[in-house]
């Protein structure tokens, strides 16, 4: 007997959930049927793909090697079925991941426009920091990712996307906001409210000021841009964030920009896709929609 698509689907689902029970729920099988399909699959291949650690199944080295092929084979089969049913040119479900600035400010209008073109598609958007998005793509938990930081993972294809600009801001009442002209020395003793290490925004900021500010006084690290804006608007410290995120705060005059022409705070957004990811019709359509927008 040869390996079956069902066994591949069970393998992929167990790899995703690390438990047979959850995998079975996802595939509408009983737990024992999923358990048997997985053990049959391992028997066919004459090797184990998971380490059994207590009640959990942890993908081993060989399992990790086979997983991309298994995911792609299942995706191929699904697309073939769609084609046979006349849905080959339809967008199915897509799992999109985006880092915080992109996810909160760039993605919503893009997704809305795409869904107007493809009303039957099912999109999900995970918003997390850059390192989280990269990890999720590497584990095939996302179909495509959009990040604002750098990616050094060799198994991910990195496609340059939009340009963005970080800006430094403060409350209008802040002493630095009162000055006519600002130079680099004015920021030497500033108290900063910044995103956490690991975020794309923080990486760009650190690269821009490293070696230029003798002492960086980070008063507070927060995981959300809006939280940073609220803290800064209350008069505590100064912040740095994407210009995209500040539109409303600048319009309502709750925050004001502090010009920093002496720092290079421009940055590139990137699209990430796993090199071994099978690109379905829907995925290709979404990427070209984003690139052309």
Q: How far is the CB of 12 from DNA (least distance, A)?
A: 15
Distance CA 63, CA 42 (A): 10
Task: Select from 16, 21, 127, 278 the one that contacts DNA (CB under 7 A).
Answer: 21
The helix/strand/coil state of 174 is coil
Q: How far is the CB of 93 from DNA (least distance, A)?
A: 22
Q: Does 44 bind DNA (CB under 7 A)?
A: no
Distance CA 130, CA 256 (A): 27
Q: How far is the CB of 136 from DNA (least distance, A)?
A: 21
Which residue, 20 or 228, has its beta carbon nearer to DNA?
20
Task: Select from 26, 31, 123, 162 the one that contacts DNA (CB under 7 A).
Answer: 31
Q: How far is the CB of 31 from DNA (least distance, A)?
A: 5
Candidates 54-62, 131-139, 167-175, 198-206: pick the segment binding DNA (CB under 7 A).
Answer: 54-62
Which residue, 57 or 238, has its beta carbon nearer to DNA?
57
Q: Which residues of 194-233 are buried (b: 16+ CB within 10 A; e: fewer)?
A: bbeeebbbbbbbeebbeeebeeeeeeeebeebeebbbbbb
> What residues contact residue 70 under an 8 Å CB cut-off, 6+ apart?
8, 11, 12, 15
Of residues 94, 98, 102, the one with CA closest to residue 285: 94
Distance CA 94, CA 90 (A): 12
Task: Select from 36, 153, 159, 222 the one that contacts DNA (CB under 7 A).
Answer: 36
Q: Does 60 bind DNA (CB under 7 A)?
A: no
Q: How far is the CB of 5 from DNA (least distance, A)?
A: 9
8-state DSSP, 103: I
Q: By CB under 7 A, name the binding residues for DNA.
A: 1, 4, 6, 19-21, 29-33, 35-40, 52, 54-57
């Amino acid at each position: 007997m040869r390996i079956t698509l069902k066994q591949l689907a069970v393998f992929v689902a167990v790899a995703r959930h690390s438990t047979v029970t959850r995998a079975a729920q996802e595939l509408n099988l009983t737990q024992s049927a999923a358990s048997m399909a997985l053990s049959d699959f391992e028997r066919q291949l004459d090797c184990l793909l998971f380490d059994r650690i207590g009640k959990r199944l942890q993908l081993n080295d060989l399992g990790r090697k086979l997983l991309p092929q298994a995911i792609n084979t299942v995706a191929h089969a699904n697309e073939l079925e769609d084609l046979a049913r006349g849905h080959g040119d339809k967008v199915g479900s897509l799992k999109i991941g985006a880092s915080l600035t992109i996810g909160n400010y760039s993605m919503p209008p893009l997704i809305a426009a795409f869904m107007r073109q493809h009303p039957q598609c099912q999109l999900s958007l995970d918003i997390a920091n850059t390192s989280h998005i990269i990890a999720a793509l590497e584990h095939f938990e996302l179909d495509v990712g959009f990040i604002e930081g750098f990616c050094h993972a060799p198994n991910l294809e990195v496609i340059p996307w939009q340009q963005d600009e970080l800006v430094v801001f403060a409350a209008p009442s802040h002493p630095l906001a009162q000055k006519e002209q600002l130079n680099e020395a004015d920021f030497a003793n500033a108290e900063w409210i910044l995103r956490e290490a690991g975020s794309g925004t923080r990486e760009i900021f650190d690269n821009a000021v490293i070696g230029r500010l003798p002492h960086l006084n980070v008063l507070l690290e927060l995981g959300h841009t809006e939280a940073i804006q609220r803290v800064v608007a209350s008069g505590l410290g100064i912040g740095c964030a994407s210009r995209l995120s500040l539109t409303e705060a600048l319009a309502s005059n709750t925050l004001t920009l502090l010009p920093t022409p002496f720092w290079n705070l421009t940055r590139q957004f990137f699209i990430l896709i796993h090199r071994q990811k099978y690109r379905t019709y829907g995925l290709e359509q979404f990427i070209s929609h984003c690139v052309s927008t």
